[in-house]
Structure 1
Amino acid sequence: MIQVIQAQNIGLAYLEERFGLQQAKDEEFFPEWFENLPEIPDLEKQDLDKIKVNFLRLVKRPPLSEETVKLVVVSPLLNLAGFYDDPFYIRGEQSIEISAEDEGEIIRGRIDVLVIQEQLWLLVIESKRSSFSLLEAIPQALVYMLANPNPDKPVFGCVTNGEDFQFIKLLKQDKPEYALSDKFTLSRRKNELYQVLSIFKNLSQILS
């Protein structure tokens, strides 16, 4: 009998045991989040300052849902990064199903935002309500990234609860390996959305 598991109930230990997932130890595995990042123009910094203000104002009146986080924070960032433009396509609520060999288990879930280019999966975004920890969101995003039908290509991810952001890179080739960026947060005085957008822009340039 096949057991169906929801992606949001998966932890890293399960992925390590069932899929052989490993965290890369080499810092050069994921240079895309810190090397050759583009500068953000002043006009776009003003947009990012407004996004931060809007989010922090909404946080004062909880609860803040996943849909609100996507609307107020994620969507404007993707627009500024160029992911709504050719050659990219955005798909929301993309269903996935993945199974480990001979385990009799299937993992199912729905990707919040998927960026594709000619059927190639490029970027998976998992957004959570503002009270949700990124540590809980990372395994779910990795499940979706493992479902990438193009194992010879890297796939990138981003998890956010609106306040915090963290980027992920996954390569499936010989054995699945992943790495995480530093965590960026809106709780600091400096607007770290500047760095978040710079990473998104760098990924859009690399992937296009």
Structure 2
Amino acid sequence: MEAPIKRTWRLGPRERQRLQTVLVLVVLALLWFIAFQPWLKGVIATRDLQTCQTNCLKIGQALTRYMQDWDDAFPPADTWMTNAAGMLGTTSGTGFGVSHYFHCPTDHSGAPSSYAYNDLLQGISPGIQSKDPQKEARRNLVRVPARFPMVIEKHGTAENGHLTLKNWAEVDRAMDTPHLVPDPTGMLIDGAGQAERQTREQLRFLSDKRF
């Protein structure tokens, strides 16, 4: 009895054409992904920066409203987030709470805040003389609050987290610039409550200057 002949699998013309079409589509998909990946990353980075800027805008407005209720006095450092949260508008219908505004999308630390307060400003009212010598010394230093960063982007910050920033060199060392759009960029809120973008290059340029 003769041994059975093994059958070989052969593609017909139609099957070969289909396989070639599939391979071409796979190659085109890979090329599309490679070509558009930088663009997609840029879109995501821009969106995250805009969200972070909106957060800072909201926080700045809330702190300004707080100051208007307290003779233009800056909030205490240990309660600045609490004070700002109390002045933030309702978020009903948005799917998130007030704490959302204190988190930058690029901050994956899980910490309560992505922003830190400059405690050099705490409690002072620029136009009112203080009986507290230390507070009065800081008030004399902060003649033009709009020139001083009130809040900086600093990921992994504790609730009501704060630090002392006396000049731009200290801001450059402390501030995070996680947004690549395309240069490393971070957000800050000045003493007038305005949200500003600062690149790492700009911070380095200002690092030998006073506020």
TM over 0.5: no
Q: Which has the higher Rg, Structure 1 or Structure 2?
A: 2
Greater helix fraction, Structure 1 or Structure 2: 2
Q: Which has the higher contact order (CA 8 A, sep 6+)?
A: 1
Q: What is the TM-score with the length of structure 1 in the denominator?
A: 0.28
